[in-house]
Amino acid sequence: MNSYVASVIEYVKQRHANEPEFVQTVEEVLSSISPVIDAHPEYEKADLLKRMVEPERMFTFRVVWCDDAGQWHTNIGYRCQFNGAIGPYKGGLRFQKNVYPGIIKFLGFEQTFKNSLTGLPIGGGKGGSDFDPAGKSEAEIMRFCQSFMTALYRYIGPDIDVPAGDMGVGGREIGYLFGQYRRLKGVWENGVLTGKGFSYGGSLTRPEATGYGAMYYLQEVLKHEGEDIKGKTIACAGFGNVTWGICKKANHLGAKVVTLSGPDGYIYDPDGVSSSQEKIDYLVTMRNSGRNRVQDYADKFGVEFHPGEKPWGVKVDVIMPSAMQNDVHMEHAKQIAANGIKYYIEVANMPTTNDALQFLREQPGMIVAPSKAVNAGGVGVSALEMSQNSERLVWTAEEVDAQLRKMMENIHRVSVEAAEEYGLGYDLVSGANIAGFKKVAEAMMEQGCF
Ligand code: GLU
């Protein structure tokens, strides 16, 4: 590895020892781009990487809210404006009780390269709160969102920073956040948030975009291997918005999603979760119930439920970890390899531990695709939502879908080309990191050192 790259990784390890997720993602990205640094000594001269691993700005804020029983609560809000070299900061808000600076920073760093890969002018940002939405009433969620936006609204804007949803933040939360922004500022700036409802500036296909995009990307990979998506079996995780989108598209394309997971275990449905509209709709019912249990699916449709287990031991054609970070560990990776699975397509942000990812990438014949490419369709369609908002136009679902498909083909193609340029062969992980990095690096260099 390039010695400058190694020194920056070491620096991040020391400085962020208490933020393992951030260290993990920096290590993953920087080791991939090592050959680019070899080829561009001017990057080391400008100490570009040290600047890239430091957010431009990251702040916390107090979020105070009152529950239905009249009890007051204080949570911490975060926004990390990681890199604005290629466009306004853009990235979701995560409301989950495990949120702390290391999670927000890792997601903001990933987002910078992901957003670059979309080919659209969006910088990287992320935010959220350690607020736990589980079991909260509608009114509590609304009060929390209003308080959150009251603290954040001065620091965002359509040309500054455009938040969106992530775990725990869906259409409902975006609505409350947007309403409060409008109330405070007294302006209709619908480009300030994405993932909005269709009645007030949301884009058609945004809810499906991450899952659809992942399936379009998978199609590109299969095309490269001379295979067809029809009839392929897929193991997914979670039962949230992304997995729902994958199931919907799998249904259109004749592929079969056979597993879902939750904190309680996983279900195996050999006929396919994606096989009927009723089953696909039930994912939304489970999500809205707030019970956070996948066993409900097994009870309703009479399929196997495996308590306390993850679905990575199931024999399928394609693995798509689509739930959360660090979901696939070394023991699972070994199982996946032993099952002879060829396609390992990451969907959630950093779903694989670094050692497991390394192991999978070394398996002969196995194709590994990285989440920052595979899930980029979500934020990509957010950028299309921003375009529609600034043009004061509404595109049809077909127009958005055609753009999304083109975007995913393009992300796959530029990743392949970037890896080939550095003699790495069909290496989608390195290719995505290199392609995402190149544009941000170039923009930063051209804008001078700051
Ligand atoms: N949270 C999603 C992501 O990780 C969406 C972000 C956005 O639409 O800005 O890409």
> Is 342 within 8 Å of 369 (Cβ atoms)?
no
- Give every strand in the sheet of 123-129, ordered side by side: 57-66, 72-83, 123-129, 89-95, 161-165
For 246, the 3-state DSSP assignment is: helix
Residue 383 is assigned to a structural domain of this protein:
no
296 and 310 together in one domain: yes
Look up residue 64 and give its two tokens.
């105070």
Residue reference for tokens 């951030």 = 22
> What pLDDT, on a 0 to 100 scale, did the predictor assign at position 289?
87
Of ligand 1's listed atoms, the one at least distance from the Cα of 115 is 10
Of ligand 1's listed atoms, the one at least distance from the Cα of 375 is 10
Residue 396 is assigned to a structural domain of this protein:
no
Side chain identity at 169, as an amino acid letter?
A: V
Distance CA 309, CA 303 (A): 15
Question: Which structural domain, as residue segments, surrounds residue 10?
Answer: 1-53+435-450
179 and 261 together in one domain: no
The Å distance, Cα 165 to ligand 1 centre, comes to 6
Q: Which residues are catalytic?
A: 126
Residue 3 is assigned to a structural domain of this protein:
yes
| Ligand 1 mutation target, pool 118, 324, 379, 404, most atoms within 8 A of CB | 379
> Is 221 within 8 Å of 345 (Cβ atoms)?
yes
| Ligand 1 mutation target, pool 210, 381, 404, most atoms within 8 A of CB | 210
> Is 250 within 8 Å of 272 (Cβ atoms)?
yes
340 and 264 together in one domain: yes
312 and 265 together in one domain: yes
Q: From first to last of the 450 residues of the chain, give the pLDDT tens digit.
A: 999 999 999 999 999 999 999 999 999 999 999 999 999 999 999 999 999 999 999 999 999 999 999 999 999 999 999 999 999 999 999 999 999 999 999 999 999 999 999 999 999 999 999 999 988 999 999 999 999 999 999 999 999 999 999 999 999 999 999 999 999 999 999 999 999 999 999 999 999 999 999 999 999 999 999 999 999 999 999 999 999 999 999 999 999 999 999 999 999 999 999 999 999 999 999 998 888 999 999 999 999 999 999 999 999 999 999 999 999 999 999 999 999 999 999 999 999 999 999 999 999 999 999 999 999 999 999 999 999 999 999 999 999 999 999 999 999 999 999 999 999 999 999 999 999 999 999 999 999 987
- DSSP one-letter code for 57: E
> What pLDDT, on a 0 to 100 scale, did the predictor assign at position 290?
83
Residues in CB range of 430: below 8 A, 6 or more apart: 32, 418, 419, 422, 424
Distance CA 354, CA 351 (A): 9
| Ligand 1 mutation target, pool 166, 193, 325, most atoms within 8 A of CB | 166
In CATH, what number is assigned to the domain containing residue 130? 3.40.50.10860
Query: How far apart, in Å, are the Cα atoms of 363 and each of 39, 198, 357?
Result: 28, 45, 10
Using CB atoms within 10 A of its CB, is residue 263 exposed (0-12), middle (13-18) or buried (19+)? exposed
Domain end position, chosen among 190, 224, 257? 190
In CATH, what number is assigned to the domain containing residue 290? 3.40.50.720
Which is nearest to 85 in space by CA: 56, 54, 108? 56
Residue 408 is assigned to a structural domain of this protein:
no
Whether 90 is in the pocket of ligand 1, judged by its Cβ within 6 Å, is: yes
145 and 155 together in one domain: yes
Which is nearest to 80 in space by CA: 62, 97, 105? 105
Phi, psi of 226 (to 5 degrees): 70, 30
Distance CA 83, CA 103 (A): 16
185 and 333 together in one domain: no
> What pLDDT, on a 0 to 100 scale, did the predictor assign at position 449?
83
Distance CA 98, CA 265 (A): 20
Whether 378 is in the pocket of ligand 1, judged by its Cβ within 6 Å, is: yes
Which is nearest to 189 in space by CA: 145, 159, 149, 168? 159
Handedness of CA 102, 104, 108, 111 (dihedral sign): positive
Domain end position, chosen among 315, 347, 365? 365
Whether 128 is in the pocket of ligand 1, judged by its Cβ within 6 Å, is: no
The Å distance, Cα 107 to ligand 1 centre, comes to 10
235 and 316 together in one domain: yes
43 and 71 together in one domain: no
216 and 149 together in one domain: no
Residue 47 is assigned to a structural domain of this protein:
yes
221 and 162 together in one domain: no
Domain end position, chosen among 365, 381, 406? 365
Of ligand 1's listed atoms, the one at least distance from the Cα of 93 is 1
317 and 448 together in one domain: no
> What pLDDT, on a 0 to 100 scale, did the predictor assign at position 167?
93
> Is 373 within 8 Å of 415 (Cβ atoms)?
yes
Residue 267 is assigned to a structural domain of this protein:
yes
Of ligand 1's listed atoms, the one at least distance from the Cα of 110 is 4
> Is 283 within 8 Å of 243 (Cβ atoms)?
yes
68 and 17 together in one domain: no
Residue 450 is assigned to a structural domain of this protein:
yes
The Å distance, Cα 115 to ligand 1 centre, comes to 9
The Å distance, Cα 72 to ligand 1 centre, comes to 30
Query: How far apart, in Å, are the Cα atoms of 438 and each of 77, 107, 233, 320, 441?
Result: 32, 19, 35, 27, 5
Distance CA 450, CA 440 (A): 14
Q: How many domains does the chain have?
A: 3
Whether 164 is in the pocket of ligand 1, judged by its Cβ within 6 Å, is: yes
Residue 201 is assigned to a structural domain of this protein:
no
> What pLDDT, on a 0 to 100 scale, did the predictor assign at position 450?
79
